[in-house]
């Protein structure tokens, strides 16, 4: 699938447990019920749900070209999942007994014999293996050869006004391979359209905030504006900086020293080093040490137009600057994907795991669950499990469109944060007061009411919903063990039926762009120039790197011992004072909260005037931040004491 950046510039949205057997089958892992009479192993989930009989437009030409990835299950897929669970569970005897990347490959990776046998099978069908690594084989050929290899017909299907290729049934592999194949991706072409470009485009168009601003929450109120919720609403802040976020989330003396945080996004900003250095200098942040920020990039990029490559530069900038602001001594390694499509982002994640580039991985990207296919989900789960075994935790933004009904018409969660093996990070609106004092948080969810022409009222108050933190109940995954007894049944069973399911997010941090983070970035101006400027930004793509930074502080407090896959530990501390229990009404039931925001009409200067609006906070679609666990903020946000609450009682 294609992933969108989950970041919001001042309110405008820019473009686990070991699963139960039934859940595993629904995710595209190998079926345990191969047909012995046919001698084939079913690769469940490889036929997409949209490839229906009604949408079938007939067989794809035998001569049409096919490129697929055949993912390898490894020598002990069940053992990998089991050890990933036990090594991550603080109540397990093997908690924290991580393996090295080499040990993980030796224990659970595909053997040379498996690779040889899978290669021979594919070649015997007339396919050509054009690339291989420890995770998958890249295979090309024609449709006739692919149909022979995978035991299914390939047809053309209509979907959303387009025609794509897809299998008419689940793909299969020979039972004689003894489960060596995890899944195959690329038989359907709906999410894989791409083109090749030689050069990356320039940065995206400029965006800046207009003032006036508050320097801290509530510091600047203009009496000329109409009342809201019984009083005058303050101006939005200019943007929080590191000292304010560190104080809000209990950083104390910890700085992330000795810890490395990896960040994955698509593409790579050519200005990241200079932008990050200038931002730190201008905001009073800590100067980067030599080698503290590094990049691991692909040899080439693709799909730059389809993915809006220049727009991703701001995402990398936000992620890097947010992590450094919260954990100023942590090393940061940016791992860029060749595009915003699954295969390339999986390659970036695999680089982190195969080379153990970091223990903490921040990922500010995702898509709605309806666009996820079980074959790709299986590939993501495998890399998350391998990371867990090595002590690596993956943190994903939960989304910026609330329950997704407004944007898709369907109430649904986001992916890959829906995986039981990933930590989904939700979002809040944050009030940091005078002297960097934490005041309160509410779940991020915004309504907008413009100032009337005569300036005497807020038109349509409180106005329509604009954006908010993602969350909800997965239709893909059963409830993981760490959510049992914590997530209310009303959420776990929200999809109907009797089987409890995975709910996200797991934890949260500031995401509301109205109470967002000040970021500095080189941007494209209308006159064609490139200029550095600052602006306030939000989205759960802010929350994810903030939590990654906080986790770096916690790992430093553990004397460098990796937290690894964090969800079992996060839920183990549920209900304790180390979390802020975030609710919709932090100032009292029925007491609304709002801010006044002034925006440039043209997004960068006052030449075409400004627009004044009132932003109501804490109104997230149909999702609600409630006492206890909720589907906006999970267990809550880190409070004073969180950083030192995870000291290990065992050594590795």
Give pLDDT tens digits for 552-581. 999 999 999 999 999 999 999 999 999 999
Would you say 15 and 144 are in contact if contact means Cβ atoms under 8 Å apart? no
Residues 375 and 576: their CA atoms lie apart, in Å, by: 38
In a 13 Å sphere around the CA of 226, the CA atoms on its Cβ side amount to 20
Question: Range of 312's domain?
Answer: 4-17+202-638
Which tokens go with 198? 């030689």
Query: Roughly what angle, to the nearest 10 degrees, separates helices 101-108 and 342-354?
Result: 110
Whether 555 is in a domain gets the answer yes
pLDDT for residue 4: 67
Preceding omega of 241 cis (within 30 degrees of 0)? no
Q: What is the mean pLDDT of residues 360-370?
A: 94
Spatial CB neighbours of 547, under 8 Å, sequence gap ≥ 6: 362, 395, 423, 425, 507, 508, 509, 638
Residue identified by tokens 């909800």 is 472
Which tokens go with 498? 């009797």
Residues 62 and 584: their CA atoms lie apart, in Å, by: 57
pLDDT for residue 202: 65
**DSSP codes of every residue in 197-219:** -SSPPPPPBP----S--BSSTT-
pLDDT for residue 472: 97
Number of domains in the chain: 1
Give pLDDT tens digits for 51-82. 999 999 999 999 999 999 999 999 999 999 99
Q: What is the CB neighbour count within 10 angstroms for residue 86? A: 18
Residues 320 and 269: their CA atoms lie apart, in Å, by: 11
Would you say 593 and 616 are in contact if contact means Cβ atoms under 8 Å apart? yes
pTM of the complete model: 0.93
Q: Give the pairing type, strands 445-450 and 610-617.
A: antiparallel
pLDDT for residue 646: 83
The residue among 382, 76, 79, 37 whose CA lies nearest residue 175 is 37
Q: Does the structure show a pLDDT above 70 at 364? A: yes
Whether 332 is in a domain gets the answer yes
CA 488 to chain centroid, in Å, comes to 23
Helix, strand and coil content of the chain, in percent to the nearest 5, comes to: 25, 30, 45
Give pLDDT tens digits for 205-220. 889 999 999 999 999 9
Q: Would you call 380 helix, strand, or coil by DSSP?
A: helix
pLDDT for residue 178: 94
Q: Element (H or E) spanning 276, and its range? A: helix 272-282
pLDDT for residue 7: 53
Q: Helix/strand/coil (H, E, C) string of 341-372? A: EHHHHHHHHHHHHHCCCCCEEEECEEEEHHHC
CA 483 to chain centroid, in Å, comes to 19
Whether 445 is in a domain gets the answer yes
Whether 104 is in a domain gets the answer no
Whether 554 is in a domain gets the answer yes
Would you say 40 and 25 are in contact if contact means Cβ atoms under 8 Å apart? no
Would you say 173 and 40 are in contact if contact means Cβ atoms under 8 Å apart? yes
Give pLDDT tens digits for 384-440. 999 999 999 999 999 999 999 998 999 999 999 999 999 999 999 999 999 999 999
Q: Which residues pair with 138 in a beta bridge?
A: 69, 131
Q: Does the structure show a pLDDT above 90 at 195? A: no
Mean pLDDT of the chain: 91
Spatial CB neighbours of 317, under 8 Å, sequence gap ≥ 6: 269, 271, 272, 275, 276, 519, 520, 521
For 130, 265, 302, 306, 497, the CA distances from 197, given in Å and listed in that order, are: 21, 18, 6, 11, 47
Would you say 81 and 565 are in contact if contact means Cβ atoms under 8 Å apart? no
**DSSP codes of every residue in 476-506:** EEEPPGGGTTTS-HHHHTTTSSSS-EEEE-S
Task: Provide the CATH number for the domain around residue 511.
Answer: 3.40.50.200
pLDDT for residue 17: 33
Q: What is the mean pLDDT of residues 515-538?
A: 95
Sheet holding 593-600, edge to edge: 465-468, 445-450, 610-617, 593-600
Residues 274 and 120: their CA atoms lie apart, in Å, by: 50
pLDDT for residue 191: 60
Q: Does the structure show a pLDDT above 60 at 198? A: no
Q: Does the structure show a pLDDT above 90 at 299? A: yes
The C-alpha angle with vertex 415 and arms to 576 and 428, in degrees rounded to 5, equals: 40
**Greatest pairwise CA separation for the chain in angstroms:** 80
In degrees and rounded to multiples of 5, residue 25 shows phi and psi of: -65, -35
Would you say 638 and 628 are in contact if contact means Cβ atoms under 8 Å apart? no
Would you say 520 and 279 are in contact if contact means Cβ atoms under 8 Å apart? yes
Q: Would you call 58 helix, strand, or coil by DSSP?
A: strand
Which tokens go with 569? 């530990």
Whether 270 is in a domain gets the answer yes
Lowest mean pLDDT among 22-26, 457-461, 494-498, 517-521: 22-26
In degrees and rounded to multiples of 5, residue 127 shows phi and psi of: -95, 155
Q: Which residues pair with 352 in a beta bridge?
A: none
Specify burial of residue 405 (Cβ count, 10 A radius: 0-12, 13-18, 19+): middle
pLDDT for residue 600: 95
The residue among 466, 477, 473, 540 whose CA lies nearest residue 507 is 540
Give pLDDT tens digits for 467-510. 999 999 999 999 999 999 999 999 999 999 899 999 999 999 99
Residue identified by tokens 């008419």 is 168
Whether 179 is in a domain gets the answer no
């Amino acid at each position: 699938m294609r992933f969108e950046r989950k970041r919001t510039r001042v309110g405008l949205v820019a473009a686990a447990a070991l699963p139960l057997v039934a859940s595993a089958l629904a995710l595209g892992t190998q079926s345990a019920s191969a047909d012995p009479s046919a001698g084939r192993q079913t690769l469940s989930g490889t036929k997409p749900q949209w490839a229906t009989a009604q949408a079938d437009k007939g067989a794809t030409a035998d001569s049409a070209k096919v490129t697929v990835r055949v993912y390898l299950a490894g020598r002990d897929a069940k053992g990998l999942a089991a050890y990933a669970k036990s090594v991550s569970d603080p109540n397990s005897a093997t908690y924290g007994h991580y393996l090295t990347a080499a040990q993980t490959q030796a224990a659970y990776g595909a053997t040379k014999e498996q690779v040889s046998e899978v290669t021979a099978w594919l070649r015997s069908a007339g396919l050509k293996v054009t690339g291989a690594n420890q995770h998958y084989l890249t295979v090309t050929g024609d449709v006739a050869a692919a149909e022979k290899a995978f035991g299914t017909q390939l047809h053309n299907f209509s979907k959303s006004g387009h025609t794509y290729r897809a299998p008419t049934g689940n793909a299969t592999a020979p039972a004689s391979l003894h489960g060596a194949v995890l899944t195959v991706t690329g038989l359907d072409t709906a999410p894989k359209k791409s083109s090749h470009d030689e050069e990356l485009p320039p940065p995206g168009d400029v965006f800046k905030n207009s003032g006036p601003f508050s320097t801290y929450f509530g510091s600047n109120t203009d009496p000329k504006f109409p009342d809201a919720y019984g009083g005058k609403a303050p101006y939005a802040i200019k943007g929080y900086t590191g000292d304010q976020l560190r104080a809000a989330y209990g950083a104390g003396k910890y700085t992330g020293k000795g810890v490395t945080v990896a960040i994955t996004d698509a593409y790579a900003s050519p200005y990241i080093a200079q932008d990050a250095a200038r931002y730190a200098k201008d905001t009073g942040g800590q100067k980067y040490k030599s080698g503290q920020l590094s990049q691991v990039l692909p040899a080439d990029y693709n799909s730059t137009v389809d993915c809006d490559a220049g727009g991703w530069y701001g995402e990398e900038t936000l992620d890097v600057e947010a992590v450094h602001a919260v954990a100023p001594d942590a090393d940061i390694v940016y791992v860029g994907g060749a595009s915003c499509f699954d295969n390339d982002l999986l390659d970036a994640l695999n680089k982190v795991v195969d080379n153990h580039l970091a223990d903490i991985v921040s990922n500010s990207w995702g898509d709605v669950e309806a666009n996820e296919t079980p074959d790709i989900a299986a590939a993501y789960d495998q890399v998350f499990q391998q990371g867990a075994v090595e002590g690596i935790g993956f943190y994903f933004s939960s989304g910026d469109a609330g329950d997704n009904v407004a944007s898709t018409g369907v109430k649904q969660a986001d992916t890959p944060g829906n995986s039981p093996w990933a930590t989904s990070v939700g979002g809040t609106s944050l009030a940091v007061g005078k002297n960097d004092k934490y005041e309160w948080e509410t779940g991020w969810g915004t309504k907008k009411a413009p100032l009337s022409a005569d300036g005497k009222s807020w038109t349509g108050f409180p106005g329509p919903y604009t954006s908010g933190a993602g969350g909800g109940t997965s239709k893909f995954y059963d409830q993981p063990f760490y959510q049992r007894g914590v997530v209310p049944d009303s959420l776990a069973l929200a999809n109907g039926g009797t089987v409890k399911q995975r709910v996200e997010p797991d934890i949260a941090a500031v995401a509301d762009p109205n109470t967002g983070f000040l970021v500095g970035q080189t941007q494209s101006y209308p006159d064609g120039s490139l200029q550095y400027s600052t602006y306030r930004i939000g989205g759960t793509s802010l929350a994810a790197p903030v939590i990654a930074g906080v986790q770096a502080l916690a790992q430093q407090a553990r004397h460098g011992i990796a937290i690894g896959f964090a969800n079992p530990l996060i839920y183990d501390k549920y209900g304790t004072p180390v979390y802020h229990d975030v609710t919709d009404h932090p100032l009292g039931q029925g007491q609304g909260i709002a801010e006044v925001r002034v925006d440039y009409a043209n997004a960068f200067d006052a030449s075409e005037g400004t627009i004044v609006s009132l932003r109501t906070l804490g109104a997230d679609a149909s999702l609600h931040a409630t006492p206890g666990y909720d589907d906006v903020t999970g267990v809550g946000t880190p409070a004073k004491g969180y950083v030192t609450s995870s000291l290990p009682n065992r050594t590795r």
